[in-house]
Amino acid sequence: MIENADIVLTDWSRAQFALTAMYHWIFVPLTLGLSFIIAIMETIFVRTGNGEWKRMTKFWMTLFGINFAIGVATGIILEFEFGTNWSNYSWFVGDIFGAPLAIEGILAFFLESTFIAVMFFGWNKVSRKFHLASSWLVALGANLSALWILVANAWMQNPVGMAFNPDTARNEMTNFWAVLFNPVAVDKFLHTISSGFLLASLFVLGISSWFLLKKREEWLAKRSMLIAGIFGLFSSLLVIFTGDTSARTLAEVQPVKFAAFEAHYNGKRNAGLVALGFLKNSEKESGAPEEKDFAFRIEIPGLLSLMTGGSREAFVPGINDLVYGLPDSSILAVAEKMKRGKVAMNLLNQYKEAKRQNDLVKAETIRNTFQEKNFVNDYFRYFGYAFLDKPEDVVPNVPVAFYTFHLMVMLGFLFILIICIALYLLWKGTITKNRWFLRAALFSIPLAYIASESGWVLAEMGRQPWIIQDLMPVSAAVSQISPGAVMTTFILFAVLFTALLIAEISIMIRQIKTGPKSQEAQL
Amino acid sequence: MTTMISYLFLQSYWWVIVSLLGSLLVFLMFVQGGQSMIFSLPGSEMHKTMLVNALGRKWEFTFTTLVTFGGAFFAAFPLFYATSFGGAYWVWIAILFSFIVQAIAYEFRSKPANVLGKKTFDIFLLINGALGPFLIGTAVGTFFTGSQFSLNDMNNVQWANGWHGLEALLNGRNIALGLAVLFLARVNGLLYIINSVDDPDLTARSVKKLIINSVSFLVFFLFFLFTLLLSEGYAADKETGQVVMEKYKYLHNLIQMPAVLILFLAGVLVVLYGIGITISRNSRKGIWFAGAGTVLAVFSLFMVAGFNGTSFYPSSYDLPSSLTIYKASSSQFTLKTMMYVSFIIPFVVAYIWYAWKSINRKRITADEMKEEGHVY
């Protein structure tokens, strides 16, 4: 069904989106968390009137500004890329997907961009309280922006609150609140911002550790660490809680992704959670293509069943069950879903033909069918399956899903350990003596970025082949432009973003080495 | 029937909102206009610092307005979003590139260890300043001159040539609009610098440049306007939506919508008044008149493009594929939901105004540039 040129086009379009999204995501989590940390520091300054707190606020604010600028630069392309590279998608679901993006602009971006100007240029122009309010509003704006874009993303993972309109050949929103309070959206928002808070806490902790290693700015570094530690501790608890709820929700709405990140091929009761493992190619002849087996694993018995079904006896379907079906557990085979999807697609074609022939009676009958609940639940919900070539196409890249998930989780627990140790050493007053820990905290900064990017790789690679779960595969969503054009823009983005990233890191390191300005220099 | 009226109202309402955002964007491109003179206007390094800092405190408004303009188009007229962005790929990518390089240029240009060097970031500002307004103007030109696309049964776009939007640069009228927008942005940029920088020498240089840029703006704008009014336009039948070519369509639109005509003429006159008082009376308030006039004039051009039975994104290749606000719009439910969201816009405008006033209370001086902790 899909021509070779289309596959190349789809791959380049995906590569471009992945490249731009991953670059953008290098900068966003720090913005989400550091904005709050700065606002907390400034609040203490306003309450105590101690100029050292202002110095501290301004130092972290300088780093925030450098990071923020490149976040904006890499972000603008993402909004427009839905149009430039995924135009079929943009029409098919623009009625629902466009709204959160527009709301993001109206409610969040203006808040951020207006008050960031006050934050940077208002120190000597507005009152302390107005300035402080501006800093909090920037933090609020940044996180509100995350809310709306994650609502949009969650809708792609779990499309809700809409109905298909055969006249316009698109899905249309029928319930705004269902879109906003989509369970995936709630989990995703909380998990994403709390992981951003955690990353920012580790960033502040790590850089403060560097100052202590260099025996500079001890007062400022220790207090920065204390704030980052407390903020990070609360954030990490939220990360664990929302990570757990996210996984439970995924088990329901994206079971193949869920099974993939556990490399869980064959369903069973009392299924264990793999804490650590390495995959190898399976020697089995049947089953999903390129089936993987474990070369090594440490498993917590029964935990997967317990987490998803509430008891050890709960059945957790595996990839093979989800692809080939399991009538006992009412799991439809993908082959059957493909048949049903094709029924829906053929009906849409018949509708178009009836309209062309001016057969109004037939058109009306079909139109009504598209609104029937049974038809929607039994056939239209599998519309995207009509585009697939074979049932195995629904299986994402299992090793990518497995390793990114486990890397993210393991690093997450390591970060909690680092934060707890930091708080303990600060409490004991021995943090400057424990240089091993200061080094470990510094080296945890890149690890936080790796964990954060892994989360998104898992979320997006794990849902392949879908751009909208069950409704549209990526191959059907892509804009019809030449693969060469997309390849060219991919290279342009790669070169430009890499150059900007190098400049950003270089500026950031120089600013850190220079350190906070003296109080006199700031006046 | 009431449902239909309500839907029609919502579609029109959203065209007005999108037009308002578009016209505000053109006004706010004074930032780009100013950037386009980064090498030619300043007489010294301090002049350049003041120019960059005057513009740099506002660049995010323009940027955010552009993003919101795109988002509003996506939410309210998704078929336009899908058709134009997915079809005229190269034009939009070029516009986006010019804004990407702008976003880091201010923050990075004078920071130590910025790898690429100050000059590179200044060139980024120049690229965005010159290309941004020109290409956006050229792209909007196709609202009147048409593009080469067709839509299939699933409303998916097929572009009829391999240029993917770059062919718009071969049309004289598109180019004239692009250059008119660029010179208008430069005029507004100069007026803004005169308003917000307290430096007699830089002001004198700006006034001098204002004359040549105003003349250039008028030449290209009047060329675009007269050829537009004398040309055929894309008329859409109000009942069937069928698009046909109509002689003097845009002239008819202005005559048949007298309120729009009045807004348009008022807009042009107020722009000229703003320029006039700056040159003749050394007034610093020119930007407010020229800015308001820009918003009125651009807003009325959007009205001419989308209302009175007109296709706002016509296809010169396949007339039936042309987009009207009715064909391209979101569902009634989405438009209504978004209308409620849009009620917050006056509140947003109010806090922007308040913050703007707070920051601009003192004009930028050379002394401030030496003392301020955060200088671009």
pLDDT digits (tens, 9 = 90+) for A37-91: 999 999 999 999 999 999 999 999 999 999 999 998 898 898 899 999 999 999 9
Please compute the mean of the pLDDT values over residues A171-193 and round it to a whole number. 94
Query: According to the model, what pLDDT value does residue B4 have?
Result: 54
Q: pLDDT class for A231, splitting at 50, 70, 90?
A: very high
Give the pLDDT of residue B5.
60
Angle at B89 between CA A19 and CA B131, to 5 degrees: 95
B334 to A173: CB separation less than 8 angstroms, yes or no: yes
Say yes or no for a CB contact (<8 Å) between B79 and A91. yes
Q: What is the pLDDT of residue A3?
A: 55
For A239-297, write each residue's pLDDT tens digit. Answer: 999 999 999 999 999 999 999 999 999 898 998 888 888 888 877 765 556 788 888 88
In 3D space, the residue among B69, B7, B347 whose CA is nearest the CA of residue A98 turns out to be B69
Question: ipTM value of the model?
Answer: 0.91
Cβ-based contacts of B103 with chain A (< 8 Å): 69-70, 72-73, 76
- Cis peptide leading into B112, omega within 30 of 0? no
Mutate to test the interface with A, among B25, B55, B73, B93 (most CBs of A within 10 A): B93
What are the chain B neighbours of A118 within 8 Å (beta carbons)? 355, 358-359
Q: What is the pTM of this model?
A: 0.92
> Which of chain A's residues have a Cβ under 8 Å away from the Cβ of B361?
125
CB contact under 8 A, A73 and B337: no
Quote the pLDDT of residue A519: 56
Residue of chain A with shortest Cα separation from B149: A480
Spatial neighbors of A87 by CB under 8 A, at least 6 apart, are A479, A480, B81, B82, B83, B85, B86, B87, B156, B157
Beta-carbon separation of B114 and A507 below 8 A: yes
The confidence score (pLDDT) of residue A328 equals 81
pLDDT band at A124 (very low <50, low <70, confident <90, very high): confident
- Closest to B57 (Cβ–Cβ): which among A73, A77, A121? A121
Closest-CA residue to B135 (of B103, B96, B81): B96
Q: Which residues pair with B210 in a beta bridge?
A: none
Q: Which residue of B has its CA nearest to A478?
A: B86
The pairing of strands B232-236 and A162-165 is: unpaired
Counting Cα atoms < 13 Å in the Cβ hemisphere of A396 gives: 32
**Partner-chain residue, chosen from B86, B93, B153, that has the shortest CB–CB distance to A87:** B86
3-class secondary structure per residue, B311-373: CCECECCCHHHCECHHHHCCCHHHHHHHHHHHCCHHHHHHHHHHHHHHHHCCCECHHHHHHCC
- Closest residue by Cα to residue B51 from B65, B69, B37: B37
Whole-angstrom distance, CA of residue A29 vs CA of residue A191: 11
List of chain A residues whose C-beta atoms are within 8 Å of the C-beta of residue B83 = 87, 91
Q: Torsion over CA of A486, A489, A495 and A499, rounded to 10 degrees? A: -130
What the block records as the tokens of A166 is 């055969």
Q: Is B72 exposed, middle or buried (0-12, 13-18, 19+ CB in 10 A)?
A: buried
- Considering only residues A521 and B112, tell me which one the structure prediction assigns the higher pLDDT: B112
Question: What is the rounded distance in angstroms from the CA atom of residue B136 to the CA atom of residue B144?
Answer: 14
B156, B313, B351, B361: best to mutate for the A interface, most A CBs within 10 A:
B156
Specify the higher pLDDT residue, A447 or A314. Answer: A447
Q: How far is CA B283 from the centre of its chain?
A: 25
Tell me the per-residue pLDDT of B28-68, one tens digit each, with 9 for 90 and over. Answer: 999 999 999 999 999 999 999 999 999 998 999 999 999 99
Q: For A177-190, give one letter per residue: b (16+ CB within 10 A) or e.
A: eebbebbbbbbbbb
Lowest-confidence pick of A118-127, A184-193, B114-123, B177-186: A118-127
Residue of chain A minimizing CA distance to B105: A69
Which DSSP state fits B374? Answer: S
> Measured at the alpha carbon of residue B147, what is the angle toward residues B142 and B148, in degrees to the nearest 5?
170
Nearest CA in chain B to A517: B373
As a whole number, the mean pLDDT across chain A is 91
Please report which residue ranges of A383-482 form alpha helices under DSSP H.
Answer: 398-428, 435-461, 474-477
Q: Rounded to 10 degrees, what is the CA torsion of A117, A119, A122, A128?
A: 150
Provide mean pLDDT across the span A305-309: 87
How many CB atoms are closer than 10 A to CB A39?
Answer: 20
Nearest CB partner across the interface for A76, out of B87, B103, B115: B103
- Residue A333's pLDDT is 94
Residue A466: which H helix or E strand, with range? strand A466-468
d(CA A188, CA A193): 8
Contact at 8 Å (CB) between A122 and A67?
A: no
CA dist B282 and B285 (Å) reads: 9
Q: Are B248 and B229 in contact (CB under 8 A)?
A: yes
Q: How many CB atoms lie within 10 A of CB A453?
A: 18
> CA quadruple A369, A371, A376, A381: dihedral positive or negative?
positive
List the alpha helices (DSSP H) in A271-397: 303-309, 319-324, 334-356, 360-371, 373-378
**How many whole angstroms separate alpha carbon A58 and alpha carbon A523?**
12
Q: Which residues contact B175 (CB under 8 A, 6 or more apart)?
A: B138, B141, B169
CA distances from A421 to A378, A418, A424 (A): 53, 5, 5
Q: What is the pLDDT of residue A2?
A: 46
Average pLDDT of the residues in A3-24 = 89
Angstroms from A363 CA to nearest CA on chain B: 15
Interatomic CA distance for residues B164 and A67, integer angstroms: 34
pLDDT at residue B283, as a whole number? 92
| Closest CB from B82, B84, B352 relative to A114 | B352
pLDDT digits (tens, 9 = 90+) for B68-94: 999 999 999 999 999 999 899 999 999
Q: Which residue of B has its CA nearest to A133?
A: B355
Distance (Å) from the alpha carbon of A392 to chain B's nearest alpha carbon: 27
Which pLDDT value is given to residue A323?
93
Position A522 scores a pLDDT of 52
Region A164-189: what's the mean pLDDT? 92
Is a pLDDT exceeding 60 seen at residue A1? no
pLDDT digits (tens, 9 = 90+) for A390-414: 999 999 999 999 999 999 999 999 9
Residues in chain B where the model's pLDDT stays below 50: 1-2
Min Cα distance A74 → chain B (Å) is: 7
The residue in chain A having the minimum alpha-carbon distance to the alpha carbon of residue B112 is: A507
Most B CBs within 10 Å: which of A24, A57, A80, as the mutation test of the B interface?
Answer: A80
Q: How far is CA A1 from the centre of its chain?
A: 31
Chain A partners of B104 at a C-beta cutoff of 8 Å?
Answer: 69-70, 73, 500, 503-504
Q: Would you call B99 and A76 a contact, using CB atoms and an 8 Å cutoff? A: yes
Burial A339-375 (b: 16+ CB within 10 A, else e): ebbbbbbebbebbbebbeeeeeeebeebbebbeeeeb
> Residue A49 has which token pair?
């009137």
